Amino acid sequence: MRQRGWEEDRTAIAIDVRKSDTAIICEDNFYQIPPKADAEFARALTEALSGKVPKATFGMKPKEILELANVLKKAEFGVIFAGLGLVYSMPDISPMKNLLEAMNKKTDFHLMPMVGQYNMRGFNHTLFDKTGYINRVSFEGENTYHGPQCSVVEVLKEKRADAALIIGSDPLSSLPGRIAANLKEIPTIVIDPCKTFTSQIANVTIPAAVTGVECKGEAIRMDGVKVELTQMRKSDKMADADIIEKIMEAI
Amino acid sequence: MGFDQFLSSPEMEILIITHRDIFQSAASSHSRFSDDYANLTAIIRLDKQDMKKAGLKEGNLVAVENSAGKVVVKALQSTYEEPHPGTAYMLNGPWVNALVSAETSGTGVPAFKYIEAKMTKSKESSITSFE
C-alpha cells in the first residue's frame, strides 16, 4: 500500500527516438535520443547508477542522466518495457544486461519485452516450454536448433524453405519486401481467421475460428498473465490447433 | 495542363523511422484490404521544412526508393511540434517493409526501424498496391 495510492505514486519515464503517445503522457519525463543511440544511452545510465559521471555523445548532458538515475534508484519496484526498436538496434544486448544489473544493485527492477502482435508471448512461452528457446527454432530431423540462422528471414532469404505453413501471421506484410517475395515461389498454406496479403498468394487457405469469439482458447498477455478466452458465438469453423491436429492425423 | 510538370522536383535523402499506432492496428484487424488501413499505413510523415524543400503539398504522392525497393505513398506533414529535418516517420506495414533491406548482419533481424532512402515527388496517380 502507498500513502497516496499507486495511481499517484507511480512515475512513468519514456525514452524514445520519437515523441510517441506514451511520451506525451510522460511530459517532462520524456528523453528523446537519436536512432541507434540505445546502447550508448544504456551504458551512460549504467555509469550514472554506479556513481560515475556519465558520458554521452548525442547531446544529453551528464546532469540529465544523473538526475534520471536518481529517480530510478528511488523506485521501490521498477519495470523497463523494452520496445521492439531496442531489440532491432542492439545486435549485442550486454549494455541492457549491465544496466539491469546496476539497477538491481540499488533496487528491484525488471524487464518486460513488448511484442508487436496478439499472443506473441503465448507462442514464445509454448516454444520455450517445449524447446528451451525463444523464437528462431529449427526442427530438422530429430534435433532442434536455435540461432539467427534459423530466423524466418534468413531461411527465406537463402531459399532454404521449399514449402511454408503460415499460421495466424501475415509475412507478406511484415517481412522485408524482397524476402517476402520469395514466398511466392514456394507452395504456401495459410491458416488464419482473416484474409491477409499472404492468404491471397497462398496455394491453400484454411479459415480458422477466431479465438475468444468463435472458439475458446488461451492467450498470454504482454505482461505474462495467462488469459482464458471463452467462445461467444456458434461457429462451424475449427480452431487453429484442431486444424493442425487433423493435418497431423492425415500425415 | 499545369505548369508543375515541367518543374523538376528535387530528390531528397531521408531516414525513415517506423512505429506502430493503435488506430492502424484496429483498422488492420478489421481488414488489411480496407481503405482505412491503406489510408493510415501508406503514409510518410515529413518535417514541415522538408516538405517545402521537396516541393510537396499535403497529400502529394511521393516515390520512396532505396536498394531494397520502391514504393509510392502519400506525404503528410508530421504532427510533431519539434522540427525533425531529414527524419520521416512511417507506420509498420507492407509499404515501409518494401524498403527494408534483407541484410541482418548475422543477427537474423533486419533493420525494420532504421531505413535510409531517397524521396521524390511521384508522377504516379495512386499509392503502391499490394493486393
Partners of B69 on chain A (C-beta within 8 Å) are: 177-178
Q: Are residues A96 and A188 in the same domain?
A: no
Cell of A190: 495459410
The answer, yes or no, to whether residue A159 has pLDDT greater than 80, is yes
Is B93 within 8 Å of A157 when comparing Cβ atoms?
no
Is B97 within 8 Å of A173 when comparing Cβ atoms?
yes
Q: Are residues A57 and A153 in the same domain?
A: no
Domain count, chain A: 2
So what's the pLDDT on residue A2? Answer: 63
- The closest alpha carbon to B99, from B44, B28, B55, belongs to B44
Is B113 within 8 Å of A85 when comparing Cβ atoms?
yes
Is B114 within 8 Å of A88 when comparing Cβ atoms?
yes
Q: Are residues A172 and A233 in the same domain?
A: yes
Domain boundary at A113, A135, A161, which?
A: A113
Cell of B82: 519539434
Partners of A87 on chain B (C-beta within 8 Å) are: 109
Nearest to A173 among B17, B93, B105 (CB): B93
Domain assignments of chain B as residue spans, ordered by start: 11-121
Confidence band for A1, pLDDT divided at 50, 70 and 90: low
Domain boundary at A52, A81, A113, which?
A: A113
Q: How many helices (H) and strands (E) does chain B have?
A: 4, 6
So what's the pLDDT on residue A88? Answer: 73
Is A153 within 8 Å of B108 when comparing Cβ atoms?
yes
Q: Are residues A134 and A202 in the same domain?
A: yes
Burial of B22 (0-12, 13-18, 19+ CB in 10 A): exposed
Q: Are residues A169 and A241 in the same domain?
A: yes
Give the model confidence (pLDDT) of A195-251 as tens digits: 899 999 999 999 999 999 999 999 999 999 999 999 999 999 999 999 999 999 999
Is B80 within 8 Å of A18 when comparing Cβ atoms?
yes
Is B89 an 8 Å CB contact of chain A? Answer: yes
Is A36 within 8 Å of B17 when comparing Cβ atoms?
no
CA dist list (Å): A177 to A218, B35, B119: 32, 21, 18
The stretch A100-114 carries a mean pLDDT of 94
| Interface ipTM | 0.86
Q: What is the CATH number of the domain that holds A133?
A: 3.40.50.740
In angstroms, what separates the C-alpha of B126 from chain A's closest C-alpha?
Answer: 19
Nearest to A88 among B15, B97, B112 (CB): B112
Q: Are residues A136 and A242 in the same domain?
A: yes
Cα–Cα distance, B127 to B119 (Å, whole number): 14
Nearest to A148 among B82, B107, B112 (CB): B107
CA A228, A233, A234, A238 torsion-angle sign: negative
So what's the pLDDT on residue B1? Answer: 46
Is A194 within 8 Å of B31 when comparing Cβ atoms?
yes
So what's the pLDDT on residue B33? Answer: 83
Q: Are residues A99 and A182 in the same domain?
A: no
Q: Are residues A225 and A207 in the same domain?
A: yes
For residue B129, the chain A residue with the least C-alpha distance is: A197
Query: CB pairs below 8 Å between A and B: how many?
Result: 100
Strand pairing class (B115-121; B12-19): antiparallel
Give the model confidence (pLDDT) of A166-208 as tens digits: 999 999 999 999 999 999 999 999 999 988 999 999 999 999 9
Domain boundary at A84, A113, A142, which?
A: A113
Instruction: Return the SS3 of A31.
Output: strand
Confidence band for A67, pLDDT divided at 50, 70 and 90: very high
Cα–Cα distance, A215 to A239 (Å, whole number): 6
Q: Are residues A130 and A240 in the same domain?
A: yes
So what's the pLDDT on residue B5? Answer: 54
Q: Cell 533486419, residue?
A: B110
The stretch A113-141 carries a mean pLDDT of 90
So what's the pLDDT on residue A6? Answer: 64
Instruction: Return the SS3 of B69.
Output: strand
| Average pLDDT along chain A | 92
Residues contacting A16, CB < 8 A, separation 6+: A22, A23, A30, A31, A32, A33, A83, A85
The stretch A13-36 carries a mean pLDDT of 92
Q: Which of B29, B30, B67, B112 to mutate to test the interface with A (most CBs of A within 10 A)?
A: B112
- CA dihedral angle for residue A209, residue A212, residue A216, residue A220, rounded to 10 degrees: 110
DSSP secondary structure of A126-142: HHHHHHS--S-EEEETT
Domain housing A77: 5-113
Angle at CA of residue B102, ends A183 and A169, nearest 5°: 45
Instruction: Spell out the per-residue pLDDT of chain B, length 131, in tens.
Output: 455 555 567 899 999 999 988 888 788 777 888 888 888 899 999 999 999 999 999 999 999 999 999 999 999 999 888 899 999 999 999 999 999 999 888 888 888 899 999 999 999 999 999 87
Cα–Cα distance, A143 to B128 (Å, whole number): 43
Neighbours of B58 (CB within 10 A): 10
CATH code for the domain defined by B11-121: 2.40.40.20
Is-contact B124 B42, C-beta < 8 A? no
DSSP H stretches of helix in chain B: 22-30, 35-41, 48-53, 94-97
Is A74 an 8 Å CB contact of chain B? Answer: no
Give the model confidence (pLDDT) of A85-100 as tens digits: 887 777 788 999 999 9
